[in-house]
Amino acid sequence: MDEEMTSLHANGTWTLEEAPDDVRPIPVKWIYKIKKDSAGNIERYKARLVAKGFKQREGIDYQEVYAPVSKHTTLRTLLSIVAAQDLELSQLDVKTAFLNGELEEDIYMAQPPGYEEGGPHTVCHMKKALYGLKQAPRAWHTKLKTEIQRMGFSTSETDPGLFIKNMEDDNVYILVYVDDILIAAKSKDSVKTVKTILMTAFDSRDLGDASYFLGWEIKRDRAKKTLKVSQTKMTTNLIIKYGMDNAKTKTTALSPANKLTKQGEPLDTSTYGYSELIGSLLYLSVCTRPDIAQAVGALARYMSKPTTDHWTTAKGVLRYLAGTVAHGINYGPSESELEGYCDADYAGDIDTRRSTTGYVFILNGGIISWSSRLQATVAVSTAEAEYMAAAQAVNEALWLRKLIADIKIPLKTIQMYTDNQAALTLLKNPIASARSKHIDIVYHFARERVARKEVKFEYCPTSVMIADIMTKALAESKFEKCCKGMGVG
């Protein structure tokens, strides 16, 4: 607490003044946390003074509050490029980051408990942002962005958390996620230069080569030019929390024989934390475990009224994780071009008969982007479901195309694959038959992008369709084949 107060005073966060008559000071509280490293060892004890931002009044105490953070897809794309090009990858942690943000509003705050000074009406007139204030993240991001742009970096048009600069024929990348910063470059000198400037501008800790970022473990073999990203610590903690550490393991996340439906015996959610478990699994599935994305996405449809069958199936996903704790995404040394796979499971949802769209994008041997979700409308044929899936995949492909262009990697037409000949025909030809004229115009833009040669679709047999893992429960052999194709293991 003393250390936190020292930082607050050194930063000139507030001045002590008598409270004006028409002001209600925002209350504050102390928050305590134990910080641990990737191995679970205690790294340090932390106390943080936070404002009770829920007491703020819109239009009086704050205006705009939005602050961007980098996307997980951007992080995985950057890591795949780091592996393929054998770049240096270093990490910074900005101490008390939000205290650097400069407030535009006039805000008064109660004094910190245990550190009161002056009379009973003395309050803190805020000069800088504080954790808990609604506008604090925005104020910090604005300050950091200004500093990085002053260094000559340009902001990526596709992701406002990514900054790029060419320094002496060396492309340098800065990726920002609130107060955690990754720096990637070919030269150690370039990384050192960027670090020195940032550490001069902000009180930061140099964490050296990146090994633990946002709870992701990053393991590199520089000799083999490989990089693996996983969440072993979080997975282990989740398995132990739900008592599955000694359970019999499974080889797939969801059995093909398990048909999920809303019918069944209601689950007592006061005893069994279904929403909490699915929330944790969802976080794993969108970060480093695409192999459970389909199973968790299907289970998440029943959050409002889960049944005992859903709980058993969710525990089955934990049993699969218990046998694959150390699995993650592997990126290799070969600089392969971006390629995508898209698929659909026609009328797979028993309750609504909507189809599931699935797509995966592979770069440098590992998956960087994926999706498994129900389509917005009911498709009347397999071809229509596959065509709608292709349109959603093209959306993502065009965004990835812009991102990779921002990262200064030459990219031609994106190669994509589908396992449906009828959908392939619709994508390549302006057909308006009785079977296709009802398809919403929003999906026909995919055909236009194919005509413009921004993406190229080819047929691939179902046996080698990697996106199958995103649309339905698979048999063990096909499941393992898809995992290998995504670089998961």
| Whole-number pLDDT of residue 186 | 94
- 221 in a structural domain: no
Q: Domain boundary at 295, 323, 351, which?
A: 323
| Whole-number pLDDT of residue 39 | 75
288 and 351: one domain?
Answer: no
| Whole-number pLDDT of residue 441 | 64
- 303 in a structural domain: yes
Each residue's pLDDT tens digit, 308-350: 999 999 999 999 999 999 999 999 987 788 999 999 999 999 9
Residue 158 CB contacts under 8 Å (≥ 6 apart), including other chains = 74, 399, 402, 403, 406
| Whole-number pLDDT of residue 434 | 47
Residue 335 CB contacts under 8 Å (≥ 6 apart), including other chains = 84, 85, 364
Which has the minimum average pLDDT: 20-24, 281-285, 402-406, 454-458? Answer: 20-24
Name the burial class of residue 208, with classes exposed (0-12), middle (13-18) and buried (19+) by CB atoms within 10 angstroms of its CB.
Answer: exposed
Answer yes or no: are the C-beta atoms of 26 and 129 closer than 8 Å: no
Given a cut of 60, is residue 56 above it in pLDDT? yes
Count CA atoms closer than 13 A to 201's CA, side-chain side: 21
Mean pLDDT, the chain, rounded, equals 92
| Whole-number pLDDT of residue 108 | 93
| Whole-number pLDDT of residue 439 | 67
373 and 305: one domain?
Answer: no
Q: What is the domain extent for residue 393? A: 334-486
The percentage of residues in the chain with a pLDDT greater than 70, rounded to a whole number, is 97
312 and 402: one domain?
Answer: no
Each residue's pLDDT tens digit, 361-384: 999 999 999 999 999 989 988 988
For residues 164-193, give the mean pLDDT: 92
Q: Determine which helix (DSSP H) or strand (DSSP E) holds 383, and give its type and residue range.
A: helix 382-406
Q: Domain boundary at 184, 214, 244, which?
A: 214
- 142 in a structural domain: yes
* Total tally of structural domains belonging to the chain: 3
Given a cut of 90, is residue 427 above it in pLDDT? no
The percentage of residues in the chain with a pLDDT greater than 90, rounded to a whole number, is 75
For residues 397-414, give the mean pLDDT: 90
Residue 393 sits in a domain whose CATH number is 3.30.420.10
- 152 in a structural domain: yes
Give the full edge-to-edge strand order of the sheet including 216-221: 212-213, 216-221, 226-230, 328-331
Q: What tokens does 109 get?
A: 């705050």
pLDDT band at 442 (very low <50, low <70, confident <90, very high): low
190 and 45: one domain?
Answer: yes
- 174 in a structural domain: yes
d(CA 307, CA 411): 47
- 224 in a structural domain: no
15 and 36: one domain?
Answer: yes
pLDDT band at 438 (very low <50, low <70, confident <90, very high): low
37 and 163: one domain?
Answer: yes
For residues 100-129, give the mean pLDDT: 91
- 474 in a structural domain: yes
278 and 420: one domain?
Answer: no
Which has the minimum average pLDDT: 37-46, 146-155, 235-244? Answer: 37-46
pTM of the predicted structure, to 2 decimals: 0.91
Which has the minimum average pLDDT: 175-189, 276-290, 329-343, 437-451? Answer: 437-451
| Whole-number pLDDT of residue 22 | 84
Packing angle, helices 421-428 and 382-406, rounded to 10: 60
394 and 297: one domain?
Answer: no
Q: Which residues of 450-484 are buried (b: 16+ CB within 10 A; e: fewer)?
A: beeebbbbeebeeeebbbbbbbbbbeeebbbbbbe
Each residue's pLDDT tens digit, 196-211: 999 999 989 999 999 9
317 and 342: one domain?
Answer: no
Q: Domain boundary at 323, 349, 373, which?
A: 323
For residues 438-455, give the mean pLDDT: 80
339 and 459: one domain?
Answer: yes
130 and 209: one domain?
Answer: yes
Tell me the three state secondary structure of residue 455: strand
- 194 in a structural domain: yes
311 and 379: one domain?
Answer: no
